[in-house]
A = this chain, B = another copy of it.
Amino acid sequence: MGARHLATLSTTFQPFDRVPHNQQAGGRREEEECTSSRLLTSYGVVRAAGPGTFTLLPLGLRAMDKLVSMIDRELAAAGCQRLAMPHLTPASLWRRSGRLEAMGKELVRLRDRQDRELVVAPTHEEAVAAMVAAVPVITPAALPLRLYQVGAKFRDEMRPKFGLIRACEFTMKDLYTFDTGRAAAEQTYREVAAAYRRIFSRLGVPYTVVEGDGGSMGGVSSHEIHFPAGIGQDTLLLCTGCSAGYNLELGESMVECRECGGGLRESRGIEVAHSFLLGTRYSEPFKAMYRSDEGKILPLYMGCYGIGVSRVLAAATEVLSSPSELRWPVAIAPYPVVLLEPKQGSREEAAAGREVRELASRLDAAWAGEVMLDDRGKLTVGKKLREARKTGYPYIVVAGRGCLEEVPRLEVHCLQSGEVLHLTSEEVLGCIAGVKQRLESS
């Protein structure tokens, strides 16, 4: 088996930009940028690769993997099964649903060498309905069927902006559900909604659930989850009296809350998840049917449920960051803990260098793979601390002046609370073990 290695910054590919992002040659216009896109790029988490496309660098991919694991766990608990459909889909599927025309220029289309038209898929209602239609016989015993995937999606945006928040290529979790009828589909809807609430509550970024309109999905019932943010593209109407809310698209002529009659205030939001009951909009044209207990062949009642995975990543940092420093939800921070070694040749290194290395491996043993060691010998601890704050490690353990005291102490900077603790090695271990435990039991 490959040995586990303590992660070290000297061997981590995290290219910091020297020049502010929007002043670079070929840089984006200011109105296309936002805090998260600027910081994620400047601090080596994400890099622009082309028009509306981005590379997730190692730290960015780690954050996304954590988010996907959270989603996987909750969806598995809700009886959902993961699969992977191809990105290239025959245009004939889109023609059959009527969306080849309806979605127009947003579809990324191409012709292969046999002159067959293909769509690089922005979503998979057609593909999954066609797949389920080809299953020999589906009986009520096999339902509900809840199938999802996590992968790249493509949309030919006229104006990609705000980095991963509105990109042409992005990562989605898309879930498609199949039930015998409306009542069963509503039960599925409630169970998925509960799973979504668990995911977003664990993430810990404030969010709002609002009623939305079905848009191009053709839904008959829909909700959206938004992170409140000034740069949000959606206008929300939030009730001042209860927790109800509406996307303005839906409630343009609405003057009071439907649920409680309360007033409505406008707010901006970034849509990070949506749910739609689709009815038989796709199962009828694709003949995705089941055989009832009475032997009738009936169309399946579908739902679709999306989470914009790469958008959540960016939008969470958008909400939490300051104008110059990234902040992460602890649950998806690439590394929740960084330990800063003293500079080579410093008094601190002479006094405590060995103890710090030992602490690093004990921390890594206590929280395997989640601790980063800043082992770059030539940098001062002050410079390392500035970089660590920019990267946004939630817990920064600093081997600074305190190492020279009679009872050597390390600083623990808790970025979320703003506290700075002065702790012995043993106390640092206890503190970090507590963080781990709180995270795992949330």
Contact = CB atoms under 8 A, between A and B. Distances in A.
A205 B391 CA distance: 43
A4 B74 CA distance: 10
A90 B51 contact: yes
Given A49-B131, A108-B112, A1 B73 contact: yes
A190 interface: no
A110 interface: yes
A18 B136 contact: yes
A258 interface: no
A14 to B, nearest CB: 10
A252 interface: no
A416 interface: no
A94 to B, nearest CB: 12
Interface string A26-70: 000000000000000000000101110111111011001000000
Contacts of A77: 2-3, 5
Contacts of A90: 50-51
A397 interface: no
Contacts of A16: 136
A417 interface: no
Given A86-B55, A127-B49, A136-B17, A156 B112 contact: yes
Nearest to A137: B18
B76 A57 contact: no
A182 interface: no
Contacts of A296: none
Centre residue among A64, A120, A151 by max chain B CB count within 10 A: A120
Contacts of A49: 85-86, 89, 127, 131
A81 interface: yes
Given A88-B169, A89-B49, A81 B13 contact: yes
Nearest to A369: B76
Nearest to A202: B1
A86 B86 CA distance: 15
A438 interface: no
A145 interface: yes
A26 to B, nearest CB: 9
Copies of this chain in its oligomeric complex: 2
Nearest to A154: B88
A110 B88 CA distance: 12
A168 interface: yes
A281 B266 CA distance: 56
B83 A61 contact: yes
A73 B2 contact: yes
A183 interface: no
A404 to B, nearest CB: 28
A15 B114 CA distance: 30
A113 to B, nearest CB: 5
Contacts of A351: none
A152 interface: yes
A83 B131 contact: no
Contacts of A47: 131, 134
Interface of A: 1-3, 5, 10-13, 15-18, 47, 49-51, 53-58, 60-61, 64, 73-74, 76-77, 79, 81-90, 105, 108-110, 112-114, 116, 118, 120, 127, 131, 134-136, 141, 145, 147, 151-152, 154, 156, 158, 168-169, 198, 440-441
27 contacts: A2-B73, A2-B76, A5-B77, A11-B79, A12-B81, A15-B135, A15-B136, A16-B136, A49-B89, A50-B86, A50-B88, A50-B118, A51-B114, A53-B86, A55-B86, A55-B127, A56-B83, A61-B83, A87-B120, A87-B169, A88-B108, A88-B120, A88-B154, A105-B113, A110-B120, A112-B156, A120-B120
Given A50-B90, A113-B156, 8 more contacts: A15-B136, A49-B85, A51-B112, A53-B88, A53-B89, A56-B84, A61-B82, A88-B108
